[in-house]
A and B are shown apart, each in its own frame.
Chain A
Amino acid sequence: MITSIRYIILLVLISIMVPGTLLATEISGRVMDQQGEPLTGVNVYLKDTYSGGTTDLEGYFQFQTDETGNQVLILSMVGYKTLEQSVNLDGDITGLSLEMKDDINKLNAVVISAGSFEASDEKKSEILKPLDIAMTAGATADIAGALSKLPGTTTNGESGRLFVRGGTANETQAFIDGVMVRNFYSPSANNMPTRVRFSPFLFKGTFFSTGGYSAEYGQGLSSVLSLNSNDVPPETQTDISLMSVGADVSHTQKWDDGSIFGQVQYTNLDPYQSIIRQEFEWINGFTSGNGTFMLRKKDKNHGMWKVYANIDRSGFSMIMPNIDSPDGDRIEVTNDNLYINTTYKYMVAKNTTGFLGLSYGQNQNDLDFNDLGIFEKAKSAHAKAYLVSDLSGFSVKAGAEVISDRETQSILFSDGSNFNPDYENHLVASFLESDLFLSRSITLRTGLRYTRYSLFNQGHVSPRISMAVKTGPFSQLSAAVGQFHQLPERDLLLMSTEVSPETADHYILSWQTTPLNRVFRIEAYYKDYNQLVKFNAEAPFDPSQYNNTGRGYAQGVDLFWRDSKTFKNTDYWVSYSYIDTERDFRDTPSLSPVTFAAKHNTSLVVKHFVTELKTQFGASYSFNSGRPYQNPNLPGFNQARTRFYSDLSFNFAFLHRQNIILYGSITNLLGRDNIFGYEFEQNAGPDNHFDSRAIGQPAKRFLFLGLFITLTKNNEANQLENL
C-alpha cells in the first residue's frame, strides 16, 4: 500500500514535470537584409512550436524555449523569402547573424509607369480612379472624352475620338478584357463628333497607354486602350436611368459564384435637338436601340469566365453644309453593330495563370450621301491565349493570337454603276515578355512580338524594352523603347493592294512621384514613324500608286499633376502636353504639320464634394493652341493655324439617397465658338481666292440631365432586419 502511494506521488510529480519545466534554452541574434540593413518585425521561431520572437527596430531577437535537440529555426516576413535553418538546442545559441533575401514578385516590385495611365481598384499608386472616367466634367460619361483630359492627347472636337501624341485616331487600338474591339465608336458623319459605344459604368478598370506598351498588344501605332469589365457584382440589382437623351433599364442577377446582366437602352436626340439650337440641319437626330448582355462565372480553379455581348442599331440623317454646294449634302446613316467577347482566366498551377479570349464583331453601315449609296460590311474576329507565371524574382508571359478582318464595300452611283472593293487579312502573332525584378527597386521588362499578315505575306519582329528604377520612397524613373506596327487604315486597304503595315518606334523617358494623395509626372518622348502610306503626288487619286515611303516624327513633353490632399473634399488634376510633330504621308507634299495635333494642350479637371448638399461638383477646362490646316490661298502645306480651342464644362452628381442619383452636365458653358479647321472651295473664285467654311461645333453647348435609380433587394432587407 505504501509503495502504491509512493508510486502515485512519483507519478503525479512526473506528470507535472512532463509538460516541461526543464531548463530553458536561449536563442538570440540579429536579422539583416541583403543590403545589411536590420529587419524589423521578422517572426523568428522554432518550427511547429510556440517558441519564438520578433525582431526589434535594430533587427535583434531573443527568446527562450524548452525544446531540446535538433530543431528547425524559421524566419518569416512578408516580402522576404522564408529562411529555414537547423539548430541544435543542447545549449544556448546566441549572437546568430542571419540574412533574409528579398522575395520580389509582381505584387511588391516597381511597376513600370512610362507611358501608362491606369485606373483600377486593385493596383497600388494608381493615377486614375475608375469613377474618373465616368465623372469627368466635359466628357458626359464618354470614355474617350475623359481620357482626352490626360496629357499626351489633343482634343479634336469635330471627331470625338482619341488622338495620342501626334497620332491619328486610328492609331489607338481598343480592347475589352484583353480582346480587340474593332468598332469602338458610334457611327457619325464626317466632322461630327462621335462617342465610344461602351458605357464607362460597365468597366472596373481602364489601362490607357500613350506609348511604349507591352508586347501583349499590337495594332496600335501610338496607343492602346484596354478596358476591364466588372467582376461578379456584390448583389442582385435593377438599375433605371432616365436621361434627357433617352432611357435604359438593366438588371443584374447574382448568385454565389456568378451573375448575369441584361440591359436595354434607347437613345434619341430628336427631342433635345428640337429644343436646343443646333448648327446643322437635322432630319432625324441620332437614334439608337441597344442591348447588352453579360455573364460572369467563377469556378473551382479560381477561374473566371466572362461573356460580353452587345447589339446595337443606330442611325441619323442630316444636311451637312458644303462650301461647294449651297444646298449642302444630305447624309443618311443606318448602322448595325454586334460585338461578342468571351474570356476565361484561370489558375493553371500555383503561380501560373492561363487566359483564353475570343471576340467577334460585325459592323454594317448603310449610308446615303446625296444620290450615292454606300453599303459597308466589316467582320472581325480575335482569338488570343496566354500563360503568365509569377515567380520570385521574375514573371513571364507567353501567348499567341489570331486576328481576322474581312471588309466589303458596295458603292452605288446614281447612274446605276457600282464599285465593290474588299479586303481580307488574317494576322497571326505571338508574344513573349518577361519582367525581371532585379531588386526591390529595379524592374526590367523585355518583350518580343512576332506578327505575320496574310495580306502581305510578310513577318515582323517588334522588340520592346522598358525599365523602372525607384529613386525614392514614392518616386521612380522609367524608360521605354519599342517598335510598333499596324495595318493601314481600312479605307486604304479597301482601295489599294499596294500598301503594307506602317511602323513607329517609341522612345520614352519618364519620372514620377506619388507622395500621399498626390501625383506628379513628367515624361518626354520621341516617336519615329516609318513606312507610312503615301500617295503619288502626280496621281494622288490613283490607289494603284499608293506606296509606303511616308515618314514622320512626333516629340514632346507631358506633364501631369494630381492632388486630392491640399483642399478638403477636392480632387483636381492639371495636364499639359507639348507636341511637335510633322509627317510626310498621304497627300502631304513634304514633311509638314498635321491637322490633328496642336502644339500646346492643357486641361484642368476639378472635383469637389459638398457634404451638406450630398453633391459632387465637377469642372473642367481644356485649352489648345490651335491646330494646323491647309489654306490654299497661302504658300506651303498645312501652314495655317486655327484659333485656340477653349472649353469650360461643369457637372454635378447629387446623391438624393444611396440609390438615387441626379446627374447633370453642361459643356462649353461660356459658349465659345471653337473652330477645328476649314473647308475650302474646290476651285478658286475669279479673284483667284478660295473661299472657306469653318468647321465648328455641332452646337454651342451640350446639356445633359439624368436620373439614375438603383433598386436592390438586399439593401431593403438589411434595413428591415435591423429595425
Chain B
Amino acid sequence: MKTKLTLFLAMIIPGILFAQSDKYQSAMVSSIDQLYNTSGVNDIEAAVNQFKRIGDAETTEWEPYYYAAFGTLMKASKIEDPGEKDEVLNTAKDILAKGKALSENNSEILAMEGYILMIQLTIDAGTRGQQLTPQIMGLFSQAMAIDPENPRAILLMAQMQMGTAQFFGTGIEQPCGLVDKAVQLFETSKPKSEIAPAWGKNNALAVQKTCAAATQDKGN
C-alpha cells in the first residue's frame, strides 16, 4: 500500500508541477505569438494585458514583464502626440522595472531599457540627446558585456551609433560591421528557450540593406 501511495505521489506531483510550468510556457508562447502577429493598438494592448496577468500571477518570472514592456513600446511607436507617446513609454519603463527587479544583470532587459530610452530620445533629440545618448550607449554596452552573443543588444547599439554617425557625418562602417555581426548571430544562435526573446532579425536585415545601399552610394 505504501509503495502504491509513493507511486501515486510520484505520478501526480510531477504531473501537477509539469502542468503548472507547461501552463506558463504555453500561455507565454501563445501570448508572444499574439504580440508578434498583431498590429492594432487594441490587440497589442490585449497582449500586454495578458503578459501583465501572467507576470502578476507568477511573481518570479521576468519574461512576462519584459514582453509587456516590449508591447507597450510597440504601442507607443503608433502614437503621434509626443506628450502621450512619452507617457506610454514611461509606463513601459515602469513595467520593465518589475522584470528588472526579478532578474538583475539581464542582457535582454538592459537592451530593452535602452531601446525604450532610444525612442524617448527621438521624441526630442535636440533637447534630450546630450543627457540620454551616453545613458543609452551605457545600457547597450552593459547588455553586450553581459552577453556578447545577444544580437538585439548589438543591433540596437549599431542603430544608435548609426544615428550619431549620420548626424556628425562620420562613417557608418563601424555600426554596419555590428549589424553584420547581429545578422550572423540571428542566423546561427538559437534562443535559449521557447519563450526567450527572439525578435529583431527582420530589423537587422533591413538595416543591413541600408548599410549596403550606403556603401554602394559611396562606391558610385
Residues in chain A within 8 A of chain B (CB atoms)? 4, 7-8, 11-12, 14-16, 18-19, 40-41, 43, 45, 48-54, 56-57, 76, 78, 121, 124-125, 129-131, 204, 234-235, 516-517, 609, 611, 614, 655, 657-658, 712, 714-715, 717-719, 721-723
Contacts and interface: CB of A to CB of B under 8 A. Distances in A.
Contact of A50 (B53, B135, B137, B164): B53
Interface stretch (B44-52, B96-104, B187-195, B210-218): B44-52
A721 B138 CA distance: 12
B78 to A, nearest CB: 13
Given A19-B16, A50-B23, A658-B168, A130 B49 contact: no
A53 B12 contact: no
Given A50-B54, A131-B126, A609-B126, A12 B138 contact: no
Nearest to A712: B134
Closest 4 CB pairs of A and B: A15-B15, A19-B19, A43-B49, A54-B46
A14 B46 contact: no
A516 B82 contact: yes
Interface of B is mostly: helix
Interface string B113-129: 00000000000101110
B45 A48 contact: no
Contacts of A234: 131-135, 138
Nearest to B131: A234
Nearest to B120: A121
B23 A19 contact: yes
Given A78-B91, A129-B124, A714-B134, A124 B86 contact: yes
A54 B45 contact: yes
A7 B46 contact: no
Interface size of B as a range:
35 or more
A50 B45 contact: no
Contact of B12 (A11, A76, A124, A715): A11
A723 to B, nearest CB: 6
A244 B102 CA distance: 54
B127 A131 contact: yes
Contact of B42 (A56, A516, A657): A56
Given A54-B45, A655-B168, A715-B134, A14 B126 contact: no
Contacts, number: 117
Contacts of B50: 50, 52, 54
A124 B134 CA distance: 23
A719 B167 CA distance: 16
Given A49-B53, A124-B83, A614 B167 contact: yes
B53 A52 contact: yes
A30 to B, nearest CB: 15
A656 to B, nearest CB: 8
Interface in B127-162: 127-128, 131-135, 137-138, 141, 144, 157, 161
Nearest to B46: A54
Contact of A235 (B19, B81, B87, B138): B138
A121 B126 CA distance: 11
B2 interface: no
Given A125-B83, A714-B138, A41 B12 contact: no
Interface of B: 4, 7-8, 11-12, 15-16, 19-20, 22-23, 27, 42, 45-46, 49-50, 52-54, 56-57, 80-83, 86-87, 91, 124, 126-128, 131-135, 137-138, 141, 144, 157, 161, 164, 167-170, 174-175, 178
Contacts of A53: 46, 49
Contact of A52 (B49, B86, B175): B49
Contact of B11 (A11, A52, A516): A11
Given A19-B19, A614-B169, A658-B168, A43 B53 contact: yes
Contacts of B134: 234-235, 712, 714-715
Contact of B81 (A11, A78, A130, A516): A516
B172 to A, nearest CB: 12
A7 B131 contact: no
A16 B126 CA distance: 59
A54 B8 contact: no
A717 B133 CA distance: 14
A121 B128 contact: yes
A54 B131 contact: no
Contacts of A121: 127-128, 131
8 contacts: A11-B8, A49-B57, A54-B46, A121-B127, A516-B82, A714-B134, A722-B174, A722-B178
Contacts of A8: 7, 11
A19 B134 CA distance: 49
Nearest to B4: A7
A654 to B, nearest CB: 11
B64 to A, nearest CB: 10
Nearest to B175: A722
A51 B56 CA distance: 12
Nearest to B157: A722
A121 B22 CA distance: 45
Contacts of B56: 48
A155 to B, nearest CB: 26
B184 to A, nearest CB: 15
Nearest to B64: A50
Contacts of A130: 127
Contacts of B42: 40-41, 54, 56-57
B12 A15 contact: yes
Contacts of B157: 722
Nearest to B16: A18
A718 to B, nearest CB: 5
Contacts of A78: 91
A612 to B, nearest CB: 9
Contact of A614 (B132, B141, B168, B178): B168
Nearest to B166: A611
Nearest to B161: A722
B160 to A, nearest CB: 10
Contacts of A124: 83, 86-87
Contacts of B20: 19
B182 to A, nearest CB: 12
A130 B168 CA distance: 22
A719 B87 CA distance: 32
